Amino acid sequence: MQKNNVVSFVASEKTQELMSKELNWCKREKTPQYAKWQAKDGDTVITLYESGKVVFQGKDADLASDFWLETEKINSGKVSVKSSKNKDSKKIPQVNPKIYYTSSIGSDEVGTGDYFGPIVVTACYVEKENISFLEEIGVKDSKKLTDNDILNIVPKFINKIDYESIILNNKDYNKYYSKEINMNKIKAILHNKVLYKLKNKISNYEYIIIDEFAKRDTYFNYLKDSSNVVMDITFFTKGEDKHLSVACASLISRYIFIKEMDKISKNLGINIQKGAGDIATAQAKEIYEKYGYEKLEEIAKLNFKNTEKIKGLI
Ligand code: MG
């Protein structure tokens, strides 16, 4: 038996405007009382009331509303949802087929929480024809993957998709990092660079998705002095669940990061660890004693607390 789900939230002017435009094609001729319009998209009936309240009704109401809830979150910073979904249906992964099954571009980064090793940002283009292949080789569950899984999976698809990566080594990171240029600004600049490069190669994408690390306005504010700013971006938290281009971007970034960490480890004769905890601090002290501060400048993010801590230990 199919359940009639109901999801509702109050939409900002901006979201209302977007919805009205986006759903214009399926608006109904008759409008219920107190409603601005009503539309029927697939099995879902969507009603926008004069109060600004939007109601999604139908068995796929939660899926149909997902994109608009995200949009509202981006536009207003928050959204309070009322849903008739029972607890069981919450276990269903929240994939919005209108985004998931498209040919889209996505980007993600790695290394920003690691004391050692570079920051790597990748943008990928995944065509909808490649989705089932990528799911099959295990791209979908990338969060659960170990380093070994990543070393195994990435070579299986890296030559089959278009991507752009950028590696920011710590020598440059330490040069750029300052009060004015914080980590998020660095991320924004790097994301924009790879997206711009990839976008120039791809003309038929539907979305450009960034795994959200800053609010839309803040992101573009970070880029106010940059040239070639890619504007048509959709920001999603848990982006890698929304489209496999983000999952692939995350995997390729991690793949490159692992390889870079291996190079540094071999070079030092110390198997340097990810993260920024006590192990990283202990290893930093060892490196400092063996090779001096210049080495740390090359391979570590000096603004991290670990640097202060080793100063205490020396
Ligand atoms: Mg991310």
Q: What is the pLDDT of residues 60-69, one digit of tens each?
A: 888 889 889 9
> Which CATH class, in words, describes the domain spanning 97-263?
alpha beta
Check if the beta carbon of residue 43 is closer than 8 Å to that of residue 60.
Answer: yes
Query: Which pLDDT band holds residue 16 (cuts at 50, 70, 90)?
Result: very high
**Comma-separated ranges of CATH 3.30.310.10 domains in the chain:** 5-83
Please compute the mean of the pLDDT values over residues 15-32 and round it to a whole number.
90
User: In angstroms, what is the span from residue 212 Cα to ligand 1's centroid?
Assistant: 7
Q: What is the whole-number distance in angstroms between the Cα of residue 213 and the centre of ligand 1?
A: 7
Nearest Cα to Cα of residue 115 among 272, 292, 291: 272
Compute the distance from residue 146 Cα to the ligand 1 centre, in Å. Answer: 17
Within the chain, which residue ranges are assigned CATH 3.30.420.10? 97-263
| pTM, two decimal places | 0.71
Contacts of 63 (CB under 8 A, 6+ apart): 94, 95, 96, 97
Average pLDDT over residues 259-268: 97
What is the structure's pLDDT at 94? 65
What pLDDT, on a 0 to 100 scale, did the predictor assign at position 32?
87
Q: How far apart are CA 214 and CA 220, in angstroms?
A: 9
Q: Is the pLDDT of residue 86 over 80?
A: no
Per-residue pLDDT reduced to its tens digit, 120-136: 999 999 999 999 999 98
As a whole number of angstroms, the distance between CA 308 and CA 43 comes to 58
Q: How far apart, in whole angstroms, are the C-alpha atoms of residue 154 and residue 165?
A: 14
Mean pLDDT to the nearest integer, 184-209: 96
6 three-state secondary structure:
strand
Q: Which residues contact 246 (CB under 8 A, 6 or more apart)?
A: 106, 107, 108, 124, 209, 210, 211, 236, 239, 240
Q: In whole numbers, what is the pLDDT of the chain averaged over residues?
A: 91
- Ligand 1 centroid, distance to 170 Cα (angstroms): 19
Looking at domain 5-83, its CATH architecture is 2-Layer Sandwich (3.30)
Euclidean distance between CA atoms 91 and 125, whole angstroms: 29
* Mean pLDDT on 44-57: 93
Ligand 1 centre to CA of 287 (Å) is 29
Q: Ligand 1 centroid vs 75 CA: distance in angstroms?
A: 20
- pLDDT at position 91, please? 41
Report CA(109)–ligand 1 centroid distance (Å): 5
Q: Taking the CA of residue 126 as centre, how many other CA atoms within 13 Å lie in the half-sphere pointing to its CB?
A: 31
